[in-house]
């Protein structure tokens, strides 16, 4: 991959965006995100994922110069793969944390929204400024943002296109933790590392239940949960976890990820 790569250490996979100067999300970056998301999904040595754009900037948005040359028929063809790149990150069946330094705007904000949790540097800036270009968010911004911060707050941010600093992002629930800029990546890795010995299939079932349940009514969500709950009883980790609890108490199980 030229602009996106997966780096793995001690059970944590870092999906690293590296397209100078501002990590603009081009068609090539979208394609590479999908490929790397699949790799992170498939690799058994990846138990959790950190999504990071580097120390300077997370991603300042989709490549506007590239989009400016597209017609309506062009975007009819491209809008699916554009959404698909972000959805591929959201569908990684493992805990995913976005470590945000600098700008996470437009498509960059949408990419951060695809993570399960978001850690922001003190100087991080978020926003969905697409309306200022005469368009709207097209990679999940209208949907994931409203589910995260509520419809009225999401509308205000999308309608105005204004930027949100880290402390406000924390206050409205857009991010989960604000840390010094020099330690945001390390904090995210430490969070992800706690899952390196966790019950991988139980985590997968929990993430699937929450994500799919949010897409449905309560009754359907409860049915999704019931099925996933029952399915964990077919795993080796369930037997290990319950035996360990009975014999040694909580928190001492040595899971196999099976």
Q: CATH number for 200-248: choose from 3.40.50.11890, 1.10.3720.10, 2.60.120.560, 1.10.12.10.
A: 1.10.12.10
* Whether residue 225 has pLDDT greater than 90: yes
Q: Look at residue 101 in the predicted model and tell me its pLDDT.
A: 98
Domain parsing of the chain, residue ranges:
4-193, 200-248
CA distance 67 to 55: 26
- From residue 81, how far is each of 138, 191, 227, 248 by CA, in Å? 11, 30, 31, 49
Mean pLDDT of all residues belonging to the chain: 96
pTM score of the predicted model? 0.94
CA distance 236 to 239: 5
Q: Which fold has domain 4-193?
A: 2-enoyl-CoA Hydratase; Chain A, domain 1 (3.90.226)
* Whether residue 1 has pLDDT greater than 90: no
pLDDT in tens, 236-253: 999 999 999 999 998 889
């Amino acid at each position: 991959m030229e602009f996106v790569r997966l780096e793995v250490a001690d059970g944590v996979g870092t999906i690293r965006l590296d397209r100078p100067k501002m990590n603009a999300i081009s068609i090539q970056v979208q394609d590479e995100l999908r490929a790397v998301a699949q790799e992170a999904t498939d690799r058994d040595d990846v138990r959790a994922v950190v999504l990071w754009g580097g120390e300077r900037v997370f991603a300042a948005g989709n490549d506007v110069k590239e989009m400016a040359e597209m017609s309506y028929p062009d975007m009819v063809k491209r809008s699916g793969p554009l959404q698909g790149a972000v959805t591929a990150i959201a569908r990684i069946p493992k805990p995913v944390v976005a470590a945000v330094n600098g700008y996470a705007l437009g498509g960059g904000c949408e990419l951060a929204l695809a993570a399960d949790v978001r850690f922001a540097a003190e100087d991080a800036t978020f926003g969905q400024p697409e309306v200022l270009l005469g368009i709207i968010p097209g990679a999940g911004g209208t949907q994931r943002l409203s589910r995260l911060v509520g419809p009225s707050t999401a509308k205000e941010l999308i309608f105005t296109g204004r930027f949100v600093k880290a402390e406000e992002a924390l206050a409205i629930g857009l991010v989960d933790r604000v840390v010094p800029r020099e330690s945001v990546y390390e904090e995210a890795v430490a969070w992800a590392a706690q899952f390196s010995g966790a019950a991988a299939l139980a985590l997968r079932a929990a993430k699937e239940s929450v994500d799919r349940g949010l897409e449905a009514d309560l009754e359907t969500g409860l049915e999704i949960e019931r099925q996933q709950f029952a399915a964990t009883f077919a795993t080796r980790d369930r037997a290990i976890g319950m035996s360990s609890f009975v014999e040694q108490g909580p928190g001492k199980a040595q899971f196999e990820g099976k």
